[in-house]
Amino acid sequence: MQSEANIRRDLAACYRLFDWLGWTELIFNHITVRVPTPEAGKPEYLINPFGLHYAEVTPDNLVCIDVDGAPRAGSTGQVNRAGFVIHSAIHSARDDAHCIMHVHTTAGCAVASKESGLRHDNFYSAMLYDDVAYHDYEGVTTNLDEQPRLVKSLGKRNHLILRNHGLLVVGPDIPTTFNRLWVLQRACEIQLASDTASGPNRSIPESILRTVPETRVAGKGEVHRVIFDTMLRRAGISF
């Protein structure tokens, strides 16, 4: 795992990149990532301070909390309750969920509001075949008793469509999780666009779908870092 200082720089840059891409929702939603912790201590992760826009997040103002929501000694900043409930549940349940990203993009919320959810019939959604889970809407996620159901809904998959709500993605690091979310977001955008065109949508045979995911979003690889760094340069983001 990277040092905490490097993780803080990557995470703050990722918040700024979300802003550049238009994936923000006022002061809401979260990107969280685990930081190295003592072997005997509770897992800790970084989260944005509630009340700041993504464009205001810096490596120094990120808040460090444990999976029970307790801030690290000396860590300041308020944490959004819904952010704690969702992210702490998954960080606690999945050892491989080092990074979690949750957004309310227009395309993501629209597909999340459709009974059929995401179809695997476009270039990007095909990459997500058999790796998309769904969780039914239970209202604003502020109750701890929803955590076990949220974890059960996600299971071992890496992409979660929160019904009537938005998108959530997990991954082993920030670049991989960013790429997974980018692919999911593009899949939703293209599905909405294809649904406005005349004529039926063309399906992709299951035999093909089963061969596609390995090519882009599965696993942790160097290409994720290359994509992430390229996008940061394109957006002019650095710390």
According to the model, what pLDDT value does residue 186 have? Answer: 98
pLDDT digit string (tens) for 85-119?
899 999 999 999 999 999 999 999 999 999 999 99
Decide if pLDDT at 213 tops 80: no
Element (H, E) at 44: strand 44-47
Kindly indicate the confidence band of residue 15, based on its pLDDT and cuts at 50, 70 and 90: very high
- Per-residue pLDDT, 229: 97
User: Cβ distance 200 to 211 under 8 Å?
Assistant: no
Query: Given pLDDT bands bounded at 50, 70 and 90, which one contains residue 218?
Result: low
**Angle value at C-alpha 170, between 167 and 175, nearest 5 degrees:** 105
**pLDDT greater than 80 at residue 217:** no
DSSP readout, 66-124?
A: ETTSPBPTT--S---HHHHHHHHHHHHH-TT--EEEEE--HHHHHHHTSTT---S-STT
**Residue 40, pLDDT score:** 63
Question: Which has the closest alpha carbon to 154: 211, 217, 97?
Answer: 97
Distance of alpha carbon 84 from alpha carbon 112, whole angstroms: 21
Buried b (16+ CB within 10 A) or exposed e, 131-145: bbbebeebeebeeee
Map out the domains of the chain with their CATH numbers: 4-235 (3.40.225.10)
pLDDT at 202: 95
Separation of first and last alpha carbons in the chain? 19
Task: Kindly report, residue by residue over 113-168, the tens digit of the pLDDT.
Answer: 999 999 999 999 999 999 999 999 998 877 889 999 999 999 999 999 999 999 99
Q: For residues 59 and 85, what is the distance between their CA atoms, to the nearest angstrom?
A: 23
- Quick one: pLDDT at residue 67? 83
- pLDDT, tens digit (0-9, with 9 covering 90-100), for 20-35: 999 999 999 999 999 9
Q: In sequence order, what DSSP letters do the residues of 189-224 get, joined into one string?
A: HHHHHHHHSSSPPPP--HHHHTTSGGGTTSS--HHH
Q: How far apart are CA 81 and CA 155, in angstroms?
A: 23
Q: Which residues touch 128 (CB under 8 Å, ≥6 apart)?
A: 118, 120, 159, 183, 184, 187, 213, 217
Reduced DSSP (H G I as helix, E B as strand, rest coil) percent helix, strand, coil of the chain, to 5? 40, 15, 45
Q: Residue 170 pairs with which residues in a beta bridge?
A: 100
List pLDDT tens digits, range 56-83: 999 999 999 888 877 787 777 788 877 7
**Is the distance from CB of 32 to CB of 99 less than 8 angstroms?**
yes
